[in-house]
Amino acid sequence: MKKTGWTHPGLATSTRGILLALPLLAALSGCGSDDPPAQAAPVATTPPPATNPVPPVTDPVTPETPVTPLCAASLDYGTTFTGASSGGEYIKIGFDTTTRRYRMTFVASAVPTAAGQVNQTRTGLTIEGSFTHPTTLPTAEQNRCAFVLQDGQTADASYAVTINPANPPMLFAGFDAVTGGTPGATIQYDGVALLGNLGAVPGRTFDSFPFIGFAQTETDLSQVAGRYHEVGMYMSPTGTSYQTARPQGWGPEPANWTETLNADGSCTAEGTGYSCSTTGTPWTRRQNADLTQDNVFISRSRSSGSPYASVGIAQPIVLLSPTQAHGIMIVGKVGTQRIPVIVRIGYSFIPAQASDLLNTIADAQVGLSLLAPATALQPNAFDGTFVGVTSAALCGKVTYDGSSGAPAVSTGVFDATVDHPDLPGTYNGTYFLPDMGNCVEGTGTRAPAATYVASLFSGTGGTQAGAATTATTPSFTLDYAQPTPGKVNLGALQAFNAADPSGDVALFQAGDAGVLVRNGPIYALIMNANTYHPFVQFGMALP
């Protein structure tokens, strides 16, 4: 039997059988098999006596199906993947497959180096550590191209990441791209007591952050200009006043809009929603500390006294000092495709002296989104096998105590006086009333089965393995009618659950709706973008 699909080591026991049981898997995957096809034993025949003896005849031997490589035969530090994580980090990573070591530089980061403070982050740190290849994935080739991070610390050992052995960060490398999870962290801050605990961040432990990276990048904005759908998810660590559950914090904000990136780096918004909410000043090439040109683009706050552009109803605090929050756009080059991903690098600063508290900054929102061309996709454009990483570890278990009843505030192109059926909230006839949940710690949503998934799409159906999925029936329906060209509507046929000790946590339910977008081999899926509990998934197609 041909083995296909991809799972996390902790997922293999419960999911592998599901994947192999699906009849469409063998037809869709280009992966090789662990088990070669059975071969008939050669049988010699005895020729009859003849003047000219006939050579013995043997039965033909069935050739072994060739294995399709999923990644380079070997990697070293000469190949650098440039990417970003949902934790608000711009990262460069390399692998040495000979020594089974990795090197990761947090070029820019919103992630604090320790709980209890927000001023010191991983910005500028480089860690090195070991990785292993899993042994439980469906094929040897998939095991070879997967990297499970075991540890990581700086050269002087002043900082080390914490790895949860039950759910370690896992990265899956293709020829041109990497997806999966990078090291997480524990984040917590009590806030400024003298200012009523301003800037407080409830404690959360993240085992990993969803990541997308590329081996090659585009640095010519004229090659990036175009009309795109932007799909992703952002989180506001300090929360907003629209949250009704307590403690306030970790509010999820879906990104699901259409915009035009212009050749001069500016963004032209569409509609009356949050379009262009990840762009501040026009995108320009980022400069390194030594003033050389980086291979990514940067966008900053439009004025010294304002926060950087944020998604949704975030309520950043910028008083007297300018924010250092910014956006990074990485444009991957995969064949002829140009694949932009945008990350918001949040920023917080709490002065040490009480006399300087008016210099407090809490512009902390972080997140990641994919930009996909806003052009119609061909029917069956998603046919195939995909590996993916979900937002479950970021925001899987959500609390919500109803609407606050407070109206939204008009900003940018967002009009608070009209209905927004595609956004979380309701319209009372005069104002749009936003909804926001609270992303809380959930044991089940920190399990690998909820974080790393394998998705199989064929025609108008699809199956996703992971979490508590145990059925072999399709998980999704796909509608290629595309009322919005480039967005394939998605319907859930069954719930996708994480098994939490307090009961199953539904990451989405049967009957929920979403959309799929794709740019080259990279895809993004968003479910329930108009609710207080959105779900996002990023992934990569297997050859």
Residue spans of the chain under pLDDT 70: 1-64, 466-473
Closest CA to 510 of 477, 466, 534: 477
SS3 state at 330: strand
pLDDT in tens, 434-455: 999 999 988 778 888 889 988 9
Looking at residue 2, its pLDDT comes to: 37
Looking at residue 63, its pLDDT comes to: 62
pLDDT in tens, 460-514: 999 987 433 334 567 999 999 999 999 999 999 999 988 777 788 889 999 999 9
Residue 371's CB: how many other CB atoms inside 10 A?
28
Closest CA to 78 of 66, 53, 95, 99: 95
- Tell me the C-alpha to C-alpha distance, in Å, between residue 209 and each of 99, 178, 250, 270: 25, 13, 14, 30
466/176 Cα distance (integer angstroms): 25
The answer to whether the CB of 230 falls within 8 A of the CB of 258 is yes
Closest CA to 236 of 161, 309, 314: 314
User: Domain boundaries in the chain?
Assistant: 81-541
- Tell me the C-alpha to C-alpha distance, in Å, between residue 476 and each of 44, 62, 445: 53, 37, 21
Burial readout 472-503 (b: 16 or more C-beta within 10 A, e: otherwise): eebbbebebebeeebbbbbbbbbbbbbbbeee
How many alpha carbons lie under 13 Å from residue 76 in its C-beta half-sphere? 2
Looking at residue 500, its pLDDT comes to: 77
* DSSP conformation letters of 51-114: SSPPPP--PPPPPPPPPPP-S-S---TTS-EEEEETTTEEEEEEEETTTTEEEEEEEEE--BSS
Handedness of CA 350, 353, 354, 359 (dihedral sign): negative
**Tokens standing for 125?**
């740190």
Residue 313's CB: how many other CB atoms inside 10 A?
26
The neighbouring-strand residues paired with 492 are 476
Looking at residue 470, its pLDDT comes to: 39
- DSSP-derived secondary structure letter, 221: G
What's the one-letter identity of residue 84?
A: A
- Spell out where 115-165 has E strands: 126-132, 146-149
308/87 Cα distance (integer angstroms): 16
